[in-house]
Structure 1
Amino acid sequence: MRTVVFDLDGTLADTSGDLIAAANACFVARGHRDVLNAGQDALIAFHGGRAMLKAGYERLGLEQAEVEARIEDDYQPLLAHYGANIDRHTLLYPGAVEAVKTLRGQGFATAICTNKPEGLARELVARLDIADLFDALIGADTLPVRKPAPDPYLAAVAQAGGAVKRSLLVGDTNTDRETARAVGVPCILVTFGPEGRAIERLSPEALLDHYDTLPALVAQMLGD
C-alpha cells in the first residue's frame, strides 16, 4: 500500500508556542526571565526540548559544562510542564486535516513519525482530534533510536501496513530530510514553517506551500 509518513511538530501542527512556554517555565523556575520567544525561536522549538534548553542557557551566558548539566536536570521538568499544557497554543496548519482525509480516501495509508516522545505525541493528536486519521504513530522513544535513523520510519510504514518502496516523508527540518535519505524515499518539506522557502536549501524532492496541493503532489510522486 502507498504510504505517506508525516512529521508532527512543525509539519502537521504549529506546536512552537507550547514548546517555548515549557522551556521558559524551566528558566523562570531557576530565577531567570523568559529567555525564548515563540515567534523568533520556533525553529529551535521544532528541534526539541534539549535544543531549547541549550539555546536558552547559552543566551544566559552559562559555561558549557553548566549548560549541559542544566539540560539534563531540566529535561524531565520541561516534558512535565509541556504535557500539562500541551494544547494551549498549538494549532493544526491550514488544510492539514482535509489533505490527510483526502489521501486516505484515495487509498493511501497515513502515519506519524516524530521525535516527540510517543506518549506526548499520542496525547497531542488525541486532543487535536486527529488520532483516527493515522494508521501508525512512532515517537522518539518507541524504539531505541530516533530520526534521522531509518528504523522509526520503517516501523511507521510497517505498522501502517504499507510498503517502504511506495512511501514518502512529509517534514519540516533537516532531520526529516536526512531520515528520507537514510531510508531511500522521497521527501516533501513544508515552506510554512519558520524557515519559509529557505528550506529549499536541503534539496528535497518537493516543497509544499499549502496542504491544499498535497494530495496531487503525492499522487504525482508515488503514482498509482
Structure 2
Amino acid sequence: MLRFFRPIPTESLRLIVFDLDGTLIDSRQDLCNSVNAMLAHFDLKPLSDDVIASFIGDGVAMLIRRALAVPGELPAGLDTPEHPFFDEAFAYFLAYYREHKLDYTRVYPGVLESLEALKTFPDGSPRPMAVLTNKPVGPARAICDGLGLSPYFFAVYGGDSFPVKKPDPFGLNTLISQAGSTPQQTLLIGDSDVDVRTARNAGAWSLGCTFGLAPDSLEHTQPDALVDHAANWVTAFGTVEIRA
C-alpha cells in the first residue's frame, strides 16, 4: 500500500537516494549475529535479535555503544567511545561483520524489480540513483556488489564517507550536487526517522518503508509518503495514489 501524507511532485523528481539496511536489504540477522559474536568474545551476555535490531540506524559506533550498555556488567564508562574497551569491541565487530556480512543478508522482495523500473525516466534517459547509509562504506559497497545492487547507483556513500552522518544533510547535499539536482527534485527513501530527518534537513522529500528495521520510528517522524512493499516505490511514480 502507498499512502501520501503530503503531495510529492513525483513528476519533477530527478534524484532518488536510498538508505541501505532496512530499505534495500534485510541485514538484520547478520548484524545481530555480529553484535552477539562481539559480546561473546568479551564474555558478555547475548542480546535478543529484537533488542539489537532496535539499535540499528545511527551507525556502527552507536550500535556497539548501545549493545554494550545493555548487559549491565561493565564498569562505568566502558560503553563510551572514549574508553579503550570500546575501540576493541568496535574493531572486533567490524572484523567479524566484514567476514559474515552476506551470510543471511538478502535484497528485500521487489527491490531489484523496482530499481529496474525506476532507473530511467519516461523518455528513456537515465535517472540518477544513489545510496546513503550510516553503515561503514566498505561493507556497504561490498554488499551492494555482492547482491547485484551496485549497477543501479552512481554512488554509494557510508557513515564514514563524510565528517558527519545522517540525519546531518551533508551527505545528501553532496549527492544532490553531484547529480545536478535540487532538494525539491530529490527523494530520500528509508525505513527510519533518521532518513526522514535527513531529508527534511536538506529540504528534500522523504518516503518511508514500513517493511524495514525501524518502522516504529516513522510513527514519531512522519515521512511525506509511506509504503509497505518495495514494489510501491514504482507506484509512487505512477498515476495510482492511495490517499491516507
Q: Deviations over 1:95-141 (max 9, x none)?
A: 01111111113343211011111111111101111110112112111
CA, structure 1 residues 194+8, in 2 after alignment: closer, same or farther (shift >3 Å)? closer
Q: Deviations over 1:6-60 (max 9, x none)?
A: 0001111111111111111111111224x22234532313333233323332221
| Alignment partner, residue 134 of structure 1 | 153
TM-score by length of 1: 0.88
Q: Which runs of 5 or more residues in structure 2 are unaligned?
A: 1-12, 240-244
| Alignment partner, residue 75 of structure 1 | 90
Identify the match of residue 135 of structure 2 among 101, 116, 124: 116
Q: Partners in 1 of 2:183 and 2:161 — Cα distance?
A: 19
CA contact (8 A) 2:191 2:215 kept: no
- Name the amino acid aligned to 1:26: M
SS in 2 for 1:57: helix
Q: Deviations over 1:163-220 (max 9, x none)?
A: 4331110011121111111101111111112444662331110101111121231457
CA, structure 1 residues 198+7, in 2 after alignment: closer, same or farther (shift >3 Å)? closer
1:44 correspondence with 2:63: no
CA, structure 1 residues 218+150, in 2 after alignment: closer, same or farther (shift >3 Å)? farther
CA contact (8 A) 2:56 2:213 kept: no
SS in 1 for 2:187: strand
- Name the amino acid aligned to 1:190: C
Of structures 1 and 2, the larger Rg is shown by 2
Deviation at 1:76, TM superposition (A): 1.8
Q: Which runs of 5 or more residues in structure 1 are unaligned?
A: none
1:103 correspondence with 2:103: no
Report percent identity of matched pairs.
Answer: 31
Q: Which has the higher helix share?
A: 1
Identify the match of residue 203 of structure 2 among 173, 176, 184: 184
Higher relative CO (Cα under 8 Å, sequence separation at least 6) belongs to: 2
| Alignment partner, residue 71 of structure 2 | 60
CA contact (8 A) 1:143 1:152 kept: yes
CA contact (8 A) 2:18 2:189 kept: yes
CA contact (8 A) 2:206 2:224 kept: yes
Q: Partners in 2 of 1:195 and 1:182 — Cα distance?
A: 20
How many aligned residue pairs are there?
A: 219
